Structure 1
Amino acid sequence: MQTNLFDAAAAPAPLTSLQLHRDELVELLSQLLWQVARHADIAHRLENDDEQDQS
């Protein structure tokens, strides 16, 4: 007799370590995005300064 895997109720997935540390991850990602945005802004300003120097 074959058992149908879809007949059985699915057990809830256990909490992963990512879910347990969600707040820490959100904070770290926020800091990383802020740093990336800040460095992109600095790089953009430096490019603009170089273009003005060449004019």
Structure 2
Amino acid sequence: MKPFPLRALPIVQTDLFDAAPASAPLTSLQLHRDELVELLSQLLWQVATHADIDQRLENDDEQDQS
């Protein structure tokens, strides 16, 4: 069995919290946040409106069967 070679340089632990964190670059989603919020609002409104219409149509169908 071969012995492992000794390291030439000692292992140095770096302190991850020593330096101030660099701010992450903005992603394309963050750059278009307002537009995404607006589109999601419209989508949610459409889903809620269609769900309400579907519920009323189902209720009408149940009344017709009686």
Counterpart mapping for 1:15-54 below 5 A? 15-54=26-65
> Which structure: greater helix fraction?
1
Count of residues in correspondence between the two structures: 55
Unmatched 5+ stretches in structure 1: none
TM-score norm. by structure 1 comes to 0.85
Structure 1 consecutive aligned stretches of length 4 or more whose deviation exceeds 3 Å: none
Q: How much identity, in percent, do the aligned residues show?
A: 87
1:10 maps to which residue? 21
Unmatched 5+ stretches in structure 2: 1-11
TM-score norm. by structure 2 comes to 0.73
